[in-house]
Structure 1
Amino acid sequence: MALASSAATSCTPRLLRAALLLLLLVTAGRHATGAPVVSELRCQCLQTVQGIHLKNIESVKVTPPGPHCGQTEVIATLKNGQEACLNPAAPMVKRIIEKMLKK
């Protein structure tokens, strides 16, 4: 019986240290600021369109190049709920972004 008790007490400090380390990592992750959270590890836009009429656009999300994708991505959410990838170099898209930023 003494042997079982000794084994349980030697594991307890290890478990406590592991639990404390896990708690610290979770807490540090929640308080980290300035680092963008990447939901996808690849480009979301494989094909783009040159433009969509502004009246059909609900919102626009611009994602700069980063480790997930080497190009700027412009994703327009349409009023019907669909998403469309826009060509960020197209003059029409640049005007759409300017107008959306002014709103």
Structure 2
Amino acid sequence: MSLITTVVVLGLLTIYEVASVGGQVGDRCRCIKKEVKPIGRFIAMLEVKPANSQCPEIEIIATLKKGGLMICLDPNALWVRKVLEKKNAVQTT
């Protein structure tokens, strides 16, 4: 019984992770749930995916410093725009 429960729980966690920042499948966006709280100091890397035919929304995916967890960010949040501006300023220098 506990083995079956463990397999089911791991399966559900995998589905949740794919839904949060999963692979793009068909006409779906990768980011379903977006972080709005400021986490700028925990970000190791940013990936910006422009809107396209498969996803009409801009997607910003942050990889965290600890553990490498990938989190989608709300592109309309002021702190996210500031982080993106800072990143662009650093790259052009």
TM-score normalised over the length of structure 2: 0.63
Unpaired runs of 5+ residues, structure 2, are 1-22
The one-letter code sitting in structure 2 at the alignment partner of 1:49 is E
| Count of residues in correspondence between the two structures | 65
Larger Rg: 1
**1:79 corresponds to:** 65
Native 8 Å contact 1:49 1:86 kept in 2: yes
1:52 and 1:83 mapped to 2: Cα distance?
15
The list of structure 1 runs, each at least 4 consecutive aligned residues, that deviate by more than 6 angstroms after superposition, is: none
SS state at 1:47 partner: coil
SS state at 1:67 partner: coil
- Percent identity, aligned pairs only, is 32
1:101 and 1:76 mapped to 2: Cα distance?
15
Unpaired runs of 5+ residues, structure 1, are 1-38
1:43 aligns with 2:32: no
2:71 and 2:38 mapped to 1: Cα distance?
9
RMSD: 1.5
